[in-house]
Amino acid sequence: MTHKGFEPWFRVYEYGSGSTIYNSTQGDIGKHLLTYKVELFNLGKLIHRDENKTQPLIVIYDPVYENYPYLVLKDEYWWSWGNRQGIALEYKGSDGGGPDDPPILYENRRSKINLHDASGFALNPIEIRKLNQTFSWISASQIHIDPAKQCYDVAMDSTSFEAKNQNTAMFVKSGYGKISFDWPIVGVMLQKRYVDATIDNVLQSASFAGFGIKNLTEYRYIYPNVKFNNPVKILTYHSDGSMTNYRISVKMVPDVSRGAEYTQDYVCKKITHDGYKKEIANIVVDDMYDRKNEGNGTGLLNLRTLLTSTWFPPFYKILADDPLDLHINEGYAALSPFEITLAVGGKIRTVNGLVNFLSPFVHTVNLDSDNVLNVTESFGFVRITPNSKFGDIVRITVNGNELKQDCTNGCTTTIFANHRLHIEAWNIWGGHASNQLEKFQGIQHEEINWPIIYIGMLVAAIGFVVWKFGEQILEYVGFRNKN
């Protein structure tokens, strides 16, 4: 076809630069013959004229996608609902099949993403409640994996995906990309105590390739009901209860002795276990927070720890032989045992414990040796009460003899009369506390008046007999006639 509808177009070109000019007068697919004439002017003088032909192939638009929805955990919001919702995309190309177009997958054909259609709901916890908050496009990004986060050694071509303005992205060929969305539901989820927030989303092309709207790929994502951040507090005290000025450092890693692993490693394995490609796993893990859980302070350390430890205890076997067969949200909600290495005042200790991400983890350090132990006595029992500024008790002696019972959170023991007691306690840091109880006098038993007790018992027995057999007795002695 010959088209003379181009208007003169003025533009200043640098050396070696150029333009692409295109137009269309027919909407049918297949091959078309395009003849074009070009006249080039400089300061009004014709300097070049050219005529050429080309045969463009107009093809159907049938893109093929694979998607994996996930949480952008590097946002580091406390609850899952406050983090962006991401979608990792693999664009495989567009299927052919029109006139002059063999029906195969073409990897070099473009696909445009510039619209989405989303709706969401939650449970309260058993009834569906619609969530009307707007699900907004935040960003589209090329793939650049941080080598420190890469869990599989695979290469990805970042040039296949181009992020445009105004909520628009373009795959210029097959490859990988990602888009993130924001859904401001954390307030209503906490206020209403909803669970299982769910978003249904469809990515679309709008006004492209002859379509008003073309659905490209769709997904459903269920947010985990999980907190991914938790306060860890390290408190240091002197024996008088005042705060110290000791330097504090803390480092938290998964407790491998229990079988725990980094949550990032679990997520990486889980994604490929579910049949997705290693490239998708890299994208998701790259959008997670770092593995490092460390902090420093003086006297007091407030660390916002991240959920980096995942452990499936043996009872999970009831649910699945292989924990990787469980939904990834079950993995996020699994237990988190940590090996916590603390350095305080020149001393180093390692604490192994489960961190409950629903409440703060608090550890107290007391290095002094003159603490007063909280001890009380009542009716032959001694109660040893923990002091929040002394820390967990790991050892107790009574008059030099080891007390063979757990007194971490306090304990009770018996004593004998007429013994003077010296009780000592130590915490994990070697801090020492002690107290003394003077001789305990046994309970003085008052003399019992047995005759009075016997008389009372006799009166009670007589009363019972009269109540039980009163009528028979009266008839027997003649005070009542038989009917």
Question: Tens digit of pLDDT for each residue in 222-235?
Answer: 999 999 999 999 99
- pLDDT higher than 50, residue 2: no
For residue 385, what pLDDT is reported? Answer: 87
For residue 469, what pLDDT is reported? Answer: 65
* 468 against 436, higher pLDDT: 436
**Segment among 162-176, 277-291, 343-357, 457-471 with least mean pLDDT:** 457-471
> How far is the C-alpha of 81 from the C-alpha of 328, rounded, in Å?
16
- pLDDT higher than 50, residue 443: no
> How far is the C-alpha of 110 from the C-alpha of 63, rounded, in Å?
8
For residue 475, what pLDDT is reported? Answer: 61
Percentage of residues of the chain with pLDDT beyond 90: 63
Q: What is the mean pLDDT of the chain?
A: 88
For residue 445, what pLDDT is reported? Answer: 45
For residue 457, what pLDDT is reported? Answer: 77
- pLDDT higher than 90, residue 209: no
Report pLDDT digits (tens) over 135-181.
Answer: 999 999 999 999 999 999 999 999 999 998 879 999 999 999 999 99
What is the rounded average pLDDT of the residues 351-357? 87
Report pLDDT digits (tens) over 273-322.
Answer: 999 999 999 999 999 999 999 999 999 999 999 999 999 999 999 999 99
For residue 18, what pLDDT is reported? Answer: 62
For residue 19, what pLDDT is reported? Answer: 62
For residue 94, what pLDDT is reported? Answer: 94
- pLDDT higher than 60, residue 467: yes
Report pLDDT digits (tens) over 377-416.
Answer: 877 778 888 889 999 999 999 888 888 888 888 888 776 5
- Any residues with CB less than 8 A from the CB of 444 and at least 6 apart, and which? none
